[in-house]
Amino acid sequence: MKKTTQLKNLICGRELEFLMEAHSGLSARIVEEAGFPGIWGSGLSISAAMGVRDNNEASWTQVLETVEFMADCTTIPILLDGDTGYGNFNNMRRLVRKLCQRGVAGVCIEDKVFPKTNSFLRGEQQPLADIDEFSGKIKAGLDSRIDDDFCIVARIEAFIAGWGLKEALKRADAYHRAGATALLIHSKRNRPDEIFAFMKEWGDRCPVIIVPTKYYSTPTEEFRRHGIAAVIWANHLLRSAVKAMQETAAEIFEQQSLIDIEDKVVPVKEIFRLQNDEELAEAEGRYLASKRELAAIILAAGRGKELGDLTLDRPKAMLQVNGTPIIKQTLDQLHARSIKDVTVVRGYKKETLAPLGCSFVDNDRYDETGELYSLYLARAQLEGPAVICYGDIVFRSYILDELIGHPGDIVVVVDSHIGERRADYVGDFVRCSEKNRKSYDQGRVRLRAIELAEKGSFDEALDGEWIGLLKTTEAGSSALLEAMEELAQRPNFKKMKLAELLDQVLAGGGVVDVVYIDGHWMDVDNYEDFARSQGF
């Protein structure tokens, strides 16, 4: 159904309908996704988004360009707040033709003098248009329509200007006779008395639209009872966005960091989704040479015996940290970065991982094999670029972003903050080409060696701990597979750790790059780790 027909049916139907304000293509798409049948292209919101006043300071062509973007990315109709029509009858004729050409379904014009002033500012001082002149503007718009279903709504400002009910009815009658699709009766009082008085006198002669910005506490059922055709929620997306932006800006300014803000805002992936990036990706698949997508392998076969009773009925990867299983947190972070091809290597109590909805590779010899053997079982999934991750670590989301964004073929994440490790801590400690200078211009850091430190011994020359998270390109995956096949010939292969695979790459002259972090992660190996993780 044409958008113009959708809007006409919406306004002229027998049920109360609702239009939500939007001021950009992005906000328009949000309105449609929320389920609204129509969009109000708010003059206040569009001008505010441009940083100018709602006094026709934005030109009509600038407004036209904005609503064209809104129309292009939505399938529901837009009723534009066209102020006074941006001039006389001739401006109105051109406006209507251009709106029809750009896919806008209707325009609402108000009977004030150009340039207009927002209805909630100095209302009594705002002169109203001559009735005959405004009626002529309505007729000119109707005669200029390319589509006969294009709607022209006449907005009556008599109550705003303090002229009372008699004048409002007089104007309503004139605009109705001029052919307006519907009337919009406006009031700035915090009670709907003026609106309901108008409805009582006007009856059911043509559809009436309202904007209850000031009398918002009125029950919606009262609007139905008084025969209102449609309600416009006129500026609430803009106002909610302003509040969120002010709070975010203030927090970032105060902290001079994004660490604590990132999890409070939508991921960039959500912006890409609203921009319909998926359609572009599909088009690229049709028109561009294909390239491999990033995949992921999560190693989650072990039980975690040191966790005792906590893992009697589940592997440690399924332990909940702050109410969510560890492995689910990792999956969510991968999915948020469009990594959909995820393979989980499972073993102990493997049936408990089934609800995750991933691809699985089973290591039924989990109790007698190491991490490298689990990866070896999943080597078919290591044919292209991939993220490889332990199943028992939790980490801040920015770490994955920095890892994926690094240009190296094999890249590992190293935590340089190792000075406070407890005496019995055992980890994959590393030596690098240089220490973490915690500087933006750190430059490329290379892994030199990776080793399992003895309990209670810390060498000051150690540069950090590998956290069990790495990324490979297609070339990097090939290098890992080659090194893995070489290690598979050794008698102790099934007991090997993943760190030994990295050592093999280095021994063969390969390059492993390092992404340094300073905390912001932890692994869960025992009761103490599990207790600390709940505050992560």
Residue 271, token pair as written in the block: 């912006």
Looking only at the bridges linking them, the beta strands covering 182-185 and 208-210 are parallel
Boundary residue ending a domain (205, 234, 263): 234
Q: Is 486 found in the same domain as 356?
A: yes
CATH code of the domain in which 54 resides = 3.20.20.60
Count Cβ atoms below 10 Å from residue 528 Cβ, excluding itself.
Answer: 12
Amino acid 521: pLDDT: 93
Q: Is 195 found in the same domain as 139?
A: yes
Boundary residue ending a domain (182, 216, 234): 234
Kindly state whether residue 239 falls inside one of the protein's structural domains.
no
Q: What is the pLDDT along the chain (536 residues), one digit of tens a residue?
A: 999 999 999 999 999 999 999 999 999 999 999 999 999 999 999 999 999 998 889 999 999 999 999 999 999 999 999 999 999 999 999 999 999 999 999 999 999 887 766 666 655 667 899 999 999 999 999 999 999 999 999 999 999 989 999 999 999 999 999 999 999 999 999 999 999 999 999 988 999 999 999 999 999 999 999 999 999 999 999 999 999 999 999 999 999 999 889 889 999 889 989 999 888 888 877 787 656 789 999 999 999 888 899 999 999 999 999 999 999 999 999 999 989 999 999 999 999 998 888 899 999 999 999 999 999 999 999 989 999 999 999 999 999 999 999 999 999 999 998 766 555 667 788 999 999 988 877 889 999 988 765 544 556 678 889 999 999 999 999 999 999 999 999 999 999 999 999 999 999 999 999 999 998 998 888 888 889 888 88
Active site residues: 54
Report how far apart the first and last C-alpha atoms of the chain are (Å, whole number). 52
Kindly state whether residue 353 falls inside one of the protein's structural domains.
yes
Kindly state whether residue 76 falls inside one of the protein's structural domains.
yes
Q: Is 318 found in the same domain as 227?
A: no
Alpha-carbon gap, residue 526 to 47, rounded angstroms: 58
Q: Is 320 found in the same domain as 409?
A: yes
Kindly state whether residue 337 falls inside one of the protein's structural domains.
yes
Amino acid 442: pLDDT: 80
Among 516, 525, 517, 479, residue whose Cα is nearest residue 501 = 479
Boundary residue ending a domain (234, 265, 296): 234
Amino acid 248: pLDDT: 94
Q: Is 184 found in the same domain as 305?
A: no
- Name the residue range of residue 42's domain: 3-234
Alpha-carbon gap, residue 104 to 98, rounded angstroms: 9
* DSSP string covering 498-513: HHHHHHHHHHTT---E
Alpha-carbon gap, residue 127 to 114, rounded angstroms: 10
User: Could you give the number of structural domains in the chain?
Assistant: 2
Among 153, 134, 122, residue whose Cα is nearest residue 40 = 153
* DSSP string covering 206-271: S-EEE--SSSTTS-HHHHHHTT--EEEE-SHHHHHHHHHHHHHHHHHHHHSSSTTTGGGS--HHHH
Q: Is 346 found in the same domain as 198?
A: no
- How many helices and strands, by DSSP H and E, does the chain display? 18, 21
423-435 burial: b if 16+ Cβ within 10 Å, else e: eebebbbbebeee
What is the separation of C-alpha 476 from the centre of its chain, rounded to a whole number of angstroms?
Answer: 32
Count Cβ atoms below 10 Å from residue 286 Cβ, excluding itself.
Answer: 7
Kindly state whether residue 268 falls inside one of the protein's structural domains.
no
Amino acid 450: pLDDT: 84
Kindly state whether residue 528 falls inside one of the protein's structural domains.
yes
Kindly state whether residue 167 falls inside one of the protein's structural domains.
yes
Kindly state whether residue 369 falls inside one of the protein's structural domains.
yes
Amino acid 425: pLDDT: 67
